[in-house]
Amino acid sequence: MQSIQIWNSKSSYGLVAILLHWLSAVAVVGAFALGVWVTQLTYYNSWYTHAIDLHHSIGLLLLITMLGRVTLRTVNVIPDDEAGMSIVQRKAAHGVHLLLYVLVFVSIASGYLISTADGRSIDLFGHLSIPAIVTDMQNQADISGIVHWYVALALIILTGLHTLAALKHHFIDRDRTLKKILGTTIPTC
């Protein structure tokens, strides 16, 4: 029986990195889907307030997860790229990862600015209240809403491309890229 690797090594991701990766992936996709759905609801729909509160909570959990990922990247090794990757692929992969991180943080910040523009705090599942810090920007909710939508759209598109690239590595290149982030030894087809 193989022991569970908690921390990253030069050859694979550890359990902490894998969990943080997949938690952030689920949160990004879930928050996007919920955000799109809530825009289709009327103010009087019984789900309107609950859906927005859930969207806020997912965003706050994503912030915590992403701060954990950034911290982990600074204190733990990052597994080496696959040997067969060209320098262009390596630079593109690292650039996409950096852009994903930036888009997530901009999406969270713009969402926060939308939600707190009227001075109200936002809650994490009704238990922890995050106060409104910035409320005096002109057209804060409108401008932040535009930024939030386009950044979230770019984020979901880039997440889809990231997923396709991982599948390409697995099924076409037949390397360990996908296996490393799944934390498994799934067979390469």
Tell me the mean pLDDT in the region 4-14.
92
Contact between 100 and 162 (Cβ < 8 Å): yes
Those residues whose C-beta lies under 8 Å from the C-beta of residue 122, and which sit 6 or more positions away, are: 56, 60, 112, 115, 116, 129, 130
Q: What's residue 46's pLDDT? A: 93
Residue 188 counted as domain residue = no
Is residue 68 within a helix (H) or strand (E), and if so which, with residue range?
Answer: helix 48-75
**Residue numbers of the domain that contains 26:** 15-182
pLDDT in tens, 19-78: 999 999 999 999 999 999 999 999 999 999 999 999 999 999 999 999 999 999 999 999
Residue 121 within any structural domain of the chain: yes
Task: Tell me what pLDDT residue 4 has.
Answer: 81
Q: Find all residues with CB under 8 Å of 172, minimum gap 6, and list them.
A: none
Beta carbons within 10 angstroms of residue 150's beta carbon: 13
Question: Does residue 5 belong to any structural domain of this protein?
Answer: no
Confirm whether 52 is domain-assigned: yes
Q: Is 187 domain-assigned?
A: no
Q: What is the rounded average pLDDT of the residues 121-134?
A: 94
Q: What is the mean pLDDT of residues 174-178?
A: 92
- Whether residue 186 is predicted with pLDDT greater than 60 in this model: the reply is no
Q: Is residue 106 part of a domain?
A: yes
Is residue 2 in some structural domain? no
Give 129's strand partners: 123
% of the chain with per-residue pLDDT over 90: 92
What is the number of domains present in the chain? 1
Residue 6 lies in a domain: no
